């Protein structure tokens, strides 16, 4: 499992520096900043980063979240604002469960953190494959972003084991979704085709489907030999 850390519009130098320090603590190297509101190479950021300044120096800067997500096979939005509704993008996985699912895969995973002031908006969350949260006290649920990052990084670090299966590639998943969409578009008895497509996408992601399984499904249901 390779992990990319994506920060959307970071606002405070101190937090950015502390996040890179936590990345270094748990063996993470790849940082992407989406439309940052600060200079990531200021003295204040560097001082908080301590021995992780090379992560700052090698950080990629992009304008849109979509550009950053292209670097990963799967993406996980992080949020303290979760609900018990049936809305699939608000059904969050606890960080322990997320770590367990991905620890043994060879996938590239993007961990997406939002703004310190307002987090990620719904549109940004919907661009991601998962929503992950850290269980905390009901009395005070919100964590400082650098603390949340450290908890998430540590959970993934301790869950990692020897890679023993090959996860479906981004291209294979894209083909599956395209073929499924083509299939339901031909059906006249489906009222909300977007909801059906979203449900299928969620099913593929939650199942953590392997490349072998995906190829078998493409062959059996869609007659595709990839």
The DSSP annotation for 46-75 comes to HHHHGGGHHHHHT-EEESSHHHHHTT-SEE
- pLDDT value of position 161: 58
Q: Residue 160 gets which letter from DSSP?
A: -
Q: What is the pTM of this model?
A: 0.73
Cβ-Cβ contacts under 8 Å for 41 (sequence gap 6 or more): 56, 57
Position 207 scores a pLDDT of 76
Classify burial at 167, counting beta carbons within 10 Å of its beta carbon; exposed 0-12, middle 13-18, buried 19 or more. Answer: buried
How does pLDDT run along the chain (226 residues), one tens digit per residue? Answer: 789 999 999 999 999 999 999 999 999 999 999 999 999 999 999 999 999 999 999 999 999 999 999 999 999 999 876 655 445 444 688 888 888 877 777 889 999 999 999 999 999 999 998 899 898 888 888 899 999 999 999 998 888 755 556 778 888 888 988 999 998 998 888 889 888 988 888 888 777 788 888 888 888 888 776 5
Please state the domain extents for the chain.
Answer: 2-159, 170-222
Q: What is the 3-state secondary structure (H, E, C) of 167-178?
A: ECCHHHHHHHHH
Asked whether the beta carbons of 76 and 112 are under 8 A apart, the reply is: yes
Output the CATH code of domain 2-159: 3.40.1280.10
Place of tokens 């005070």: 140
Name every residue whose Cβ is closer than 8 Å to that of residue 82 and which is 6 or more positions away in sequence: 90, 91, 92, 131, 133
């Amino acid at each position: 499992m390779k992990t990319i850390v994506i920060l959307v519009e970071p606002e405070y130098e101190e937090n950015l520096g502390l996040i890179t320090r936590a990345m270094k603590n748990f063996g993470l190297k790849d940082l992407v900043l989406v439309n940052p509101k600060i200079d990531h190479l200021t003295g204040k950021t560097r001082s908080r980063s301590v021995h992780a300044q090379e992560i700052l120096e090698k950080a990629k800067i992009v304008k849109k979240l979509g550009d950053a997500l292209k670097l990963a096979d799967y993406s996980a939005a992080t949020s303290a604002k979760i609900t018990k509704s049936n809305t699939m993008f608000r059904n969050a996985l606890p960080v322990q469960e997320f770590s367990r699912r991905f620890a043994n895969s060879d996938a590239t995973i993007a961990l997406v953190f939002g703004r310190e002031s307002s987090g990620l908006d719904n549109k940004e969350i919907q661009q991601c494959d998962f929503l992950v949260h850290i269980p905390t006290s009901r009395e005070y649920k919100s964590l400082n972003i650098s603390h949340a990052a450290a908890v998430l990084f540590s959970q993934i670090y301790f869950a990692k084991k020897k890679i023993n299966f090959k996860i479906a590639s981004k291209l294979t998943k894209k083909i599956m979704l395209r073929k499924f969409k083509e299939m339901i578009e031909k059906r006249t008895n489906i009222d909300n085709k977007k909801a059906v497509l979203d449900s299928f996408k969620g099913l593929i992601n939650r199942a953590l489907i392997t490349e072998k399984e995906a190829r078998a499904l493409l062959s059996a249901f869609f007659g595709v030999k990839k």
